[in-house]
Amino acid sequence: MRFAVTERDTALAEAAGEVLAKQAGAEQIRAGWPGGRIESVHGVWRTLAGVGVTGALVPEHSEGLGTGTGTGLGLGLGLDENALPPLLETLGRSGLPVPAAETVAVGAPLLATAGAPQLPSVLRGSALLTVSLTRAAPVPFAALADLIAVRQGDGLRLYARDEVETEPVDSVDGSRWLARVRAPAGGGLLLAEGPAELAVAYRRGVLATAALLVGLAGRMLELTVAHVRARHQFGVPVGSFQAVKHALADVELAVRFARPAVLAAGWAQAAGDPETAVRTSMAKVLASEAARKAARTALQCHGAMGYTTEYDLHLYAKRAWALAADWGGPTEHRESIARRLGLTGAADRGGEGAGA
């Protein structure tokens, strides 16, 4: 099956890319870490919201938004899940530390469905929204977010920051601002309820995270190729060594396998394909492995300098390690695929690789 991104979806990703190219360099990623100028990151997020990123999956005429063409500030664009892979890959490549998957793919569409009065401020980027569908797990960006949606019983409920208690949690990627959230039972605004609605939201989060990982893998590969071309040993570029060429070729192959899998998952979600769950899990597995391989190879090719916190590479690598485990790690998604394909016996007998 061949997948092609539509002109409208491409246009949104390109518009986001233009903003990021001008405003989101490595200094913006560093600004997102504790002690940095986080307001500068929020400024980029508001600019992205202005080109429609936050409202990608929000219907054009959602309650509380009034009427419009879907191209103005704070309006929904009415796109479907096919828009997520190119857009989130672009955001992932930038490394910008914002709750992109949580807001664009999950939170904003649910706020629109629920007719939440907070939707306009989320779409304008003036209110930071984060979401977690995993009970008791630390919530990304919860230490910063104005609005936090978490599981309560069989539903997902939205709370304002002053309605919950948050406890910051250390993360390999400090720019994710993890925190444990304690929310009052029965409070908040109900955004989704029941297995079917939660499954749709979860799969969107998985899809968006997989696309972010593809973007990160591509960026780390790009940085490494540039480095091995410029770095010389024994009078020749490091990139001329066959071992280096083969290692980077393996990364390129992993990215090329992951990207169409993510596109396929987006198509499956938009089309209501019966194999949506399998396609989505496969996308997350391949994207996580591609990003991990890219990080490992990039560090090896850079040598000791790649491990220093002052060097840009580690910012992308840490983000990749964190996202590979978020919204279900490769092992969890492999197990899900095995169950749906009736291969649980094989998995139980050791079908899972130790490096998953």
Render pLDDT for 127-181 as a digit per residue (tens, 0 to 9): 999 999 999 899 999 999 999 999 999 999 999 999 999 999 999 999 999 999 9
pLDDT given at position 2: 65
Q: Beta strands 189-193 and 179-182: pairing type?
A: unpaired
| 214-236 pLDDT, tens digit each | 999 999 999 999 999 998 888 88
Q: Quick one: pLDDT at residue 64? A: 56
**C-alpha closest to that of 140 among 323, 283, 291:** 323
Encode pLDDT of 63-88 as tens digits: 556 544 343 444 799 999 999 999 99
Q: In which band, very low, low, confident or very high, does the pLDDT at 4 lie, cut at 50, 70 and 90? A: confident
> pLDDT at position 62, please?
67
Give the pLDDT confidence score for residue 350 in this predicted structure.
Answer: 42
CATH 1.20.140.10, the chain: domain bounds: 196-351
Question: Residue 210 pLDDT > 70, yes or no?
Answer: yes
Percent of the chain with pLDDT over 90: 79
292-311, pLDDT tens digit by residue?
A: 999 999 999 998 787 787 88
pLDDT more than 70, % of the chain: 92
Q: What CATH number has the domain spanning 196-351?
A: 1.20.140.10
Q: State the pLDDT confidence band at 6, using cuts at 50, 70 and 90.
A: confident
Amino acid 307: pLDDT: 78
Please give the residue that has the higher pLDDT: either 75 or 24.
24
Mean pLDDT of 184-209: 95
Instruction: Categorize the per-residue pLDDT at 356 as very low, low, confident or very high, splitting at 50, 70 and 90.
Output: very low
pLDDT for 8: 85
Q: What is the mean pLDDT of the chain?
A: 91
pLDDT in tens, 243-279: 999 999 999 999 999 999 999 999 999 999 999 999 9
* Residue 130: count of CB within 10 angstroms of its CB: 27
Question: What confidence score (pLDDT) does residue 67 get?
Answer: 44
- When pLDDT is cut at 50, 70 and 90, the band that residue 345 belongs to is low
